[in-house]
Amino acid sequence: MLEVLKNQIAIGDETIGKDRRPYIIAEIACAHDGDYDRAKALIDAATNAKADAVQLQFFDLDEVVTPHHEVFDLLKTITFSPDQWTELFVYARTKDIHVWVCTYDLPSVELAIKLGADGIKLNSSDLSNPEVVERVAQSGIPFTLGTGASTLEEINNGLQLAVAHGAKEIVLMHGVQNFPTRTEDLNISRITLLKDVFGVPVGYHDHTDGDDPFAQMVDLIAVGLGADIIEKHLTIDRSAKGTDYQAALEPDEYAEFVARLHRAHIAYGSKELRPFSTSDLKYRKFQKKSVVTAHPLKAGSVIARSDVKFIRNTVPGLAPIDFRLVEGKKLKHDLDAFANILESDTE
């Protein structure tokens, strides 16, 4: 049933998935702290950093947590109204960036669909929530599906449910959303596991301590393991210690982060066999050893091992492993010292 899921997903003029560079989502989450102007500044920062997408987080407080939950009071002070979310979404649409929405409840899902989000994020909290998964699947909008602290059975059930309701474009997301996540808890290799088991694009959302230099390197590992999406938190000033600051990067850091990920993707290259590049050919010419005359040789000479050296020459010739092709044969013509001996030089 999962065979209908695509291994490449088009978002505007970008493609997520197999053999493509990582798609970078700047996650705003609640870093706006309920400040509308700060939310706009975060959208600007994501755009300036050249992230592929900015991700707004919609939530309806009454549909997310109970009044007794530890984050209820905080969320109550920083929530925006649907009209405000709409205004922020429209503002983001004026920028050169894709707009994704992280949703935590059905009302927010409906708003994201109504606004025409480029993509929707479902946290692992909704992986086993059929109402939310079904509605997003029915929308036809590509979406990410969080897998943090979930069993393979739960992930499979979530995917099967989504596919049964029409979904074809899903990216599984690995990441443990503890703030911050300890290095020993990252388990980035799970990206490979999810790809092997489910055969769909897999992304990574990192929550490493933003003050730790490793926070700007850990995603390079994820890219090397084939992460198709990298989602990273963005904040204006980490030292202010506002909401969702722990794993976030500041605007200047984020711009460097995006550039570094793009460069890493180029450096990782491909595991597929491909023709030698211009660089490869230059390196071969410079490094490879050849069968070279040790001294001048006359026509008719029978070539012996003592007549040659296995050394680098200005132009590569016969590889030392192929010396047998000329050993014991007669030369057709004279050769100077340090000349390549080719099979065509012999009778």
For 322-337, the pLDDT digits (tens) are 999 999 999 999 999 9
State how beta strands 229-233 and 202-206 pair.
parallel
- Give yes or no for a contact between 156 and 149, defined as CB atoms under 8 angstroms apart: no
Residues 6+ apart with CB under 8 A from 48: 251, 255
C-alpha dihedral (12, 14, 17, 20), degrees to nearest 10: 170
Q: How far apart are the first and last CA of the chain?
A: 65
Specify the pLDDT at position 181.
87
Identify the residue whose tokens are 């950093």: 49
CATH architecture of 14-268: Alpha-Beta Barrel (3.20)
> Could you tell me which CATH class the domain 278-345 is placed in?
alpha beta
What are the extents of the domains in the chain?
14-268, 278-345
| Model pLDDT, residue 20 | 92
pLDDT in the model for residue 154 = 97
- Residue 212 has φ and ψ, to the nearest 5°, of -90, 125
The per-residue pLDDT for 179 is: 75
Distance CA 98, CA 219 (A): 21
* One-letter identity of residue 336: D
H helices within the chain, ranges in order? 36-48, 61-64, 72-78, 82-93, 106-115, 130-139, 152-164, 190-198, 218-224, 251-268, 278-287
Q: Is the peptide bond before 180 cis (omega within 30 degrees of 0)?
A: yes
What residue ranges of the chain have pLDDT lower than 50?
Answer: none
Do 278-345 and 14-268 fall under one CATH topology? no
Q: Are 55 and 28 in contact (CB under 8 A)?
A: yes
- pLDDT value at residue 196: 96
CA nearest neighbour of 210 among 184, 175, 241:
241
